[in-house]
Amino acid sequence: MPRNTHRAVHHYRPHVITVPPAQVVADGRRLMRPGGAYGLAVAFFGLLFLLGVVGFILRLSGGTEHRAGWAYFAATIAFILSTFQAAPVVAVAGRLAKGHWRRPVARALEMCSLAGLVSVLMVIPAALVLPPTFGRPSLYFDSPLGIPLVWNLVILGALFLAGLGLVFLSARPDRAMVEASEGDLSGAGAWPGTTRQWRVLEKGMTLLSAFYLMAYVGAHTVFSTDFVMSQVPGWHSAIFPALHGIDGLQAGCATAILVMALVRRFGRLEAYISVDPFWGVSKLMLALTLLWMYFHYAEFLTLWYGRTPREIAVLTLLYGGPYLGLFIVEFLFVWLIPFIMLLIFPVRRSIGGNVVVALSILFGLLLDRIRLYSAAFSVEDVFEHMLETVPGPYIPDLVDIMILAGGISGAVLVYLLAVRLVPLLALWEVRQALLLSRAIPYLRTEATVVAKPE
Residue bearing the bigger pLDDT, 243 or 276: 243
Q: Please give the residue that has the higher pLDDT: either 18 or 185.
A: 18
Helices (H), 13-137: 21-31, 36-61, 71-82, 87-96, 106-110, 116-129
3-class DSSP state of 354: helix
Q: Is the dihedral of CA 296, 302, 305, 306 positive or negative?
A: negative
Select the more confidently predicted residue: 15 or 136: 136
Q: Quick one: pLDDT band at residue 146, thresholds 50, 70, 90? A: low
Q: Are 407 and 77 in contact (CB under 8 A)?
A: yes
Average pLDDT, the chain: 89
Helix axis angle, 148-181 relative to 87-96, nearest 10°?
Answer: 70
Residue bearing the bigger pLDDT, 10 or 264: 264
Q: What is the arithmetic mean of pLDDT over 108-130?
A: 95
Summarised one tens digit per residue, pLDDT across range 167-176 is: 999 998 888 8
Domain ranges of the chain: 28-280+399-450
User: Residue 64: what pLDDT?
Assistant: 78
pLDDT of residue 378: 94
Q: What's the pLDDT tens digit per position in 211-250?
A: 999 999 999 999 999 999 999 998 988 899 999 999 999 9
Res 276: pLDDT:
87
pLDDT, one tens digit per residue, over 46-71 is 999 999 999 999 999 988 778 899 99
Between 358 and 320, the higher pLDDT residue: 358
Confidence (pLDDT) at 10: 44
Average pLDDT over residues 106-113: 95
Cα–Cα dist 260/255, whole Å: 8
From residue 173, how far is each of 183, 198, 429 by CA, in Å? 15, 9, 10
Reported as a single tens digit per residue, the pLDDT across 362-375 is 999 999 999 999 99
pLDDT of residue 13: 62
CA–chain centroid gap for 104, Å, is 18
First and final CA of the chain: distance in angstroms? 40
- pLDDT band of residue 88 (cuts 50, 70, 90) is very high
Least confident of 160-169, 176-185, 406-415: 176-185
Band the pLDDT of 2: cuts 50, 70, 90. very low
Mean pLDDT, residues 92-108 taken together: 85
- Do residues 28 and 427 lie in contact, with contact meaning Cβ atoms separated by under 8 Å? yes
Q: Read off the pLDDT of residues 384-436 as tens digits, 9 standing for 90 and up.
A: 888 888 999 999 999 999 999 999 999 999 999 999 999 898 888 888 777 77
> Does the structure show a pLDDT above 80 at 316?
yes
Helices (H), 140-274: 148-181, 186-190, 195-227, 240-266
Judged by average pLDDT, the poorest of 112-121, 246-255, 258-267, 432-441 is 432-441
Confidence at residue 186, expressed as pLDDT on a 0 to 100 scale: 64
Among the listed residues 329, 408, 400, the one whose alpha carbon sits nearest the alpha carbon of residue 363:
329
**How big is the CA angle at 125 (ends 123 and 130), to the nearest 5 degrees?**
90
